[in-house]
Amino acid sequence: MSLELILASCIVALLVILLPTLFLLSQKLGPSNVGNKAKNSVYESGISSPIGNSESRFSAKFYLVAILFVLFDVEIVFMFPWAVNVRELGFFGLFEMFTFIGLLLFGLIYIYRIKALSWQ
């Protein structure tokens, strides 16, 4: 057997033994909040008493707005490298970016015309 294989096996064996041992020790030695009602209560975003249940359904408009945000936000990932290399790309790179921005603008106009962002 090679030395690397023996070393990797020892590391895996050590992790398999050490991690569950540490989890069990932290559970046994750490503080328990079993009887503390204040620490076990729900507190999320400044609201201490939740309204409704966790299985309530959202309108598809929320998801549509989220997808549109991601779609129009990710374009920055493509625009930043272009902005850094605009001089090296020359006229062809400028034409490509104007085409890209034009397609994004066309998509935004389309979204506006079908009233995808209206909350009616």
Closest CA to 75 of 98, 99, 104, 102: 104
Query: pLDDT grade, residue 54 (50/70/90)?
Result: low
CB 118 within 8 A of CB 68: no
Tens digit of each residue's pLDDT (9 = 90 or more) over 73-87:
888 888 888 888 888
pTM for the complete prediction? 0.47
Q: Residue 118 has which token pair?
A: 């209206």
pLDDT band at 1 (very low <50, low <70, confident <90, very high): confident
